[in-house]
C-alpha cells in the first residue's frame, strides 16, 4: 500500500508551533504518514519535508509583500508542482491566508480535501475572504468560540476545537521563583518587567529599541530588572545590536519564562499577547510598522482593538480595553514607560488586570485541539 501523505502549510512561527502539535498527534496514530510542505523548526524536527521555511516566507506588511512578490510567486509555483507530483491525501492549512487561500483553491480543484485550522481573521479585515473559504475549504476549524457565530452569519459551519495556546502551555514546568531569581543573581525585591519584542525580524527592528528606551526610563525611579524573551529562530546579533546602542542589558530567557515570572510584560501584538493572557500577566501591548503599512492597515482593519488579549476578554465589537494598546506613533519609549509605570505603581490596577486575563483564559477551553484536528485528518487518511 503506498504511503499516505499530508500537505501542510504553516507560514509563520506560531503556525509552525500549532501545526507541529497536530502532526505529532497524527504520527502517534499513523506513523507511516509522510508530511511535506512549509513550516519551521518544530515541523522539521518531526520529519516534515520542508520545501520552504517560515524564515523564508514569513514576510509581513503590504510594502514588503509587494517587494517580495516575485519570490512568493515562485514559492506558490513550486508548491503546486510538488502537490501535483505527490498527490497528498489531505491538506492542512494553518492561518497565513495570503498564500493559504490561493493554495486552497488549487487543492480543491484537484479533489484534495482542505482542512483549514485557525481561521484567517476575517472578522477583523478582508471579510470578502469568507466567500473563498466557503467555496474551497472542506473543514473549517476555529480556535475562538465567537468565530462560530461569525461564520454562521455567512451560512457556514465552523467547528470550535479549542485553543492550541492553552494546550501548549498546560504541561510547562518552571523553577520556583526564588530559585529562578537566585540562578540569575536577581534581587528578590526587584520588580520584573518582561520584554517580548516579537518573532519577526521586522518587528524586532522597529519595536525592541523603543522597549529598551522605555526600560531605561522605568529604571530611573524604580527597582526593576528586565527579562528578554528571545525568539529562538532569530539571530542573537539582531538583539545585541539594539542592546549595544541602548546600554541596558536585560537577562535573556525563554518567552514563557518571561511571561511566568514577570510582574508586567511589554509585548508586541500577536500570539504572544494570547500566551501572556493565559499566564495572567499584566501587559502593555505595542505595535509599530512602516508608515505605508500602517496607513493601509488603518483603513482596512475594522476592529477597535487589535490585541488578541482584549478581543478575547471583551469581544469583537468592544471599545473598552483590559490591557492598554500603544500603536504606531504612541508605541515609543515615552508612552510605553508612562503606561507601564502606572501599572507597576498601582497594585489594584495590576491585580484587576491579572484577574480579568485569567477569567478570559478560562473561556478558551482546555480541550486538546491538536488531537481533535489530528482525528479529523485521520478520517481523510
Domain definitions of the chain by residue range: 5-162+365-380, 177-362
CA distances from 310 to 205, 251, 353 (A): 25, 28, 11
**What pLDDT is attached to residue 246?**
83
CATH T-level fold of 5-162+365-380 = Rossmann fold (3.40.50)
Query: How far is Cα 34 from Cα 52, in angstroms, rounded to an integer?
Result: 16
Assess contact for 212 and 195: CB atoms under 8 A: yes
DSSP letters, 323-362, are S-EEEGGG-SHHHHHHHHHHHHH-HHHHHHHHHHHHHHHH
Crossing angle, helix 97-109 and helix 69-86, to 10 degrees?
Answer: 30
CB 364 within 8 A of CB 166: yes
CA distances from 227 to 149, 333, 361 (A): 39, 17, 23
How is residue 237 written as a grid cell? 546579533
As given in the structure block, the three cell numbers for residue 324 are 492598554
pLDDT of residue 61: 60
For residues 99 and 91, what is the distance between their CA atoms, to the nearest angstrom?
A: 14
DSSP labels, 37-73: EEE-HHHHHTT-EEEEEHHHH---SHHHHHHTHHHHH
How many alpha carbons fall within 13 Å on the CB side of residue 95? 20
Residue 296 exposed, middle or buried by CB count within 10 Å (0-12, 13-18, 19+): middle
| Cα separation, 15 vs 91, whole angstroms | 14
**What pLDDT was estimated at residue 229?**
94
DSSP 147: H
Whole-angstrom distance, CA of residue 214 vs CA of residue 219 = 9
Helices within the chain (DSSP H only)? 13-29, 41-45, 54-57, 62-67, 69-86, 97-109, 129-136, 146-152, 164-170, 177-184, 201-221, 236-246, 255-261, 271-279, 291-300, 308-314, 333-345, 347-362, 369-380
Across the strands, what pairs with 224? 191
Are 96 and 105 in contact by the 8 Å Cβ rule? The answer is: no
Q: Can you give the pLDDT at residue 316?
A: 65
| Domain 177-362 falls under CATH 3.40.50.2000 | yes
**Residues of the chain scoring pLDDT < 70:** 1, 59-65, 68, 125, 290-303, 316-319, 366
Q: In this structure, are residues 72 and 59 in contact, taking their beta carbons and an 8 Å threshold?
A: yes
Q: Report pTM.
A: 0.77
Rounded to 5°, angle at Cα 210 from 68 and 233 = 50
Cα–Cα distance, 197 to 209 (Å, whole number): 9
From CA 277, how far away is CA 240, in angstroms rounded?
28
Q: What's residue 270's pLDDT?
A: 85
**3-state DSSP call for residue 373?**
helix
Interatomic CA distance for residues 111 and 268, integer angstroms: 39
Q: What is the pLDDT of residue 59?
A: 62
Eight-class DSSP state of 188: T
pLDDT for 14 equals 86
> How far, in Å, CA of 95 to CA of 92, rounded?
10
Amino acid at each position: 500500500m503506498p504511503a499516505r501523505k499530508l500537505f501542510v502549510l504553516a507560514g509563520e512561527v506560531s503556525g509552525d508551533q500549532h501545526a507541529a502539535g497536530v502532526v505529532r498527534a497524527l504520527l502517534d496514530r499513523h506513523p507511516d504518514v509522510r508530511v511535506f510542505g512549509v513550516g519551521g523548526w518544530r515541523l522539521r524536527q518531526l520529519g516534515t519535508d520542508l520545501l520552504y521555511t517560515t524564515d523564508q516566507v514569513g514576510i509581513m506588511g503590504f510594502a514588503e509583500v509587494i517587494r517580495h512578490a516575485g519570490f512568493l510567486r515562485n514559492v506558490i509555483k513550486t508548491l503546486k508542482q510538488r502537490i501535483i507530483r505527490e498527490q497528498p491525501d489531505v491538506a492542512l492549512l494553518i492561518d497565513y491566508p495570503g498564500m493559504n487561500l490561493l493554495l486552497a483553491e488549487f487543492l480543491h480543484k484537484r479533489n484534495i480535501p482542505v482542512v483549514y485550522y485557525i481561521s484567517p481573521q476575517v472578522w477583523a479585515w478582508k471579510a470578502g475572504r469568507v466567500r473563498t473559504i466557503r467555496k474551497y475549504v472542506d473543514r473549517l476549524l476555529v480556535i475562538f468560540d465567537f468565530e462560530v457565530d461569525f461564520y454562521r452569519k455567512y451560512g457556514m459551519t465552523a467547528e470550535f476545537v479549542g485553543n492550541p495556546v492553552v494546550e501548549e502551555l498546560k504541561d510547562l514546568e518552571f523553577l520556583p521563583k526564588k530559585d529562578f531569581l537566585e540562578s540569575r543573581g536577581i534581587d528578590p525585591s526587584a520588580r520584573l518587567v518582561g520584554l517580548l519584542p516579537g518573532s519577526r525580524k521586522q518587528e524586532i527592528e522597529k519595536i525592541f529599541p523603543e522597549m529598551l528606551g522605555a526600560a531605561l526610563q522605568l529604571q530611573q525611579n524604580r527597582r526593576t530588572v528586565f527579562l528578554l524573551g528571545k525568539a529562538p529562530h532569530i539571530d542573537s546579533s539582531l538583539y545585541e545590536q539594539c542592546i549595544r546602542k541602548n546600554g541596558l542589558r536585560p537577562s535573556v530567557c525563554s518567552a514563557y519564562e518571561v511571561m511566568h515570572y514577570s510582574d508586567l510584560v511589554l509585548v508586541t501584538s500577536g500570539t504572544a499577547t494570547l500566551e501572556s493572557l493565559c499566564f495572567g500577566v499584566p501587559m502593555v501591548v505595542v505595535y509599530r510598522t512602516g508608515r505605508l503599512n500602517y496607513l493601509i492597515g488603518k483603513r482596512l482593519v475594522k476592529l477597535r482593538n487589535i490585541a488578541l488579549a482584549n478581543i478575547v476578554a471583551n469581544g469583537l465589537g468592544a471599545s473598552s480595553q483590559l490591557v492598554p494598546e500603544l500603536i504606531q506613533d504612541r508605541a515609543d519609549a515615552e508612552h510605553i514607560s508612562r503606561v507601564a509605570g502606572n501599572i507597576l505603581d498601582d497594585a489594584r490596577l495590576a491585580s484587576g488586570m491579572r484577574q480579568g486575563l485569567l477569567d478570559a483564559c478560562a473561556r478558551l477551553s482546555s480541550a486538546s485541539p491538536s488531537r481533535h484536528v489530528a482525528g479529523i485528518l485521520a478520517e481523510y487518511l
